[in-house]
Amino acid sequence: MNEKKIYEGIIFDLVRKDVLINGKTYPRDIIRHPGGVGVLCVRDGKVLLVRQFRPAISEETLEIPAGKLEYGEDPMKCGLRELNEEAGMEADELKLIQILVSTPGFCDERIYIYEAVNPRTADHFLAQDEDEDVDSLWLSIEEAYEKVKSCQIKDAKTIIALQHAMLNR
């Protein structure tokens, strides 16, 4: 159906799309976003989290290392890069846990959640993005999951990753 770009931004675009529902056309505003990747990194019963300030919610968050995809970028390559940039870690490979659609009512963003296979400290460190200020920390899987239960961790991709870690510990 017909789609018109309303806004072109740095992180996302906004389009107005006509959709057909029960034989009638309705306009819908849709956010187009290239998606993101998050990486669950578990070593010796501990999970790697990053702490950063998120301006959209005006809060500091605890999350798994993650980042935005570029259009057409391989999610696994993005995940390995973000794991290094944000936490100085690398892995032999990433194993897909889940593909999350965060808000399918108005946004096409897909977040790929991976688990790091054989994680270790990186031999070569990639610099954080210029506009990032990220600290990393290790918590036991149980302690991190308690932060989910007490609503101290609110990030959806991190909650899914930590639930996976709890089920597979």
Q: Helix H segments across the chain?
A: 75-87, 141-149, 156-167
Q: Which residues are catalytic?
A: 130
Measured CA to CA in angstroms, residue 44 lies from 47, 120, 131, 167 at distances of 8, 11, 31, 16
Distance CA 89, CA 136 (A): 10
Which residues, including other chains, have CB under 8 Å from residue 62's CB and lie 6 or more apart?
49, 50, 51, 144, 147, 152, 153, 155, 158
Distance CA 126, CA 12 (A): 25
Query: Coil, strand, or helix at residue 47?
Result: strand
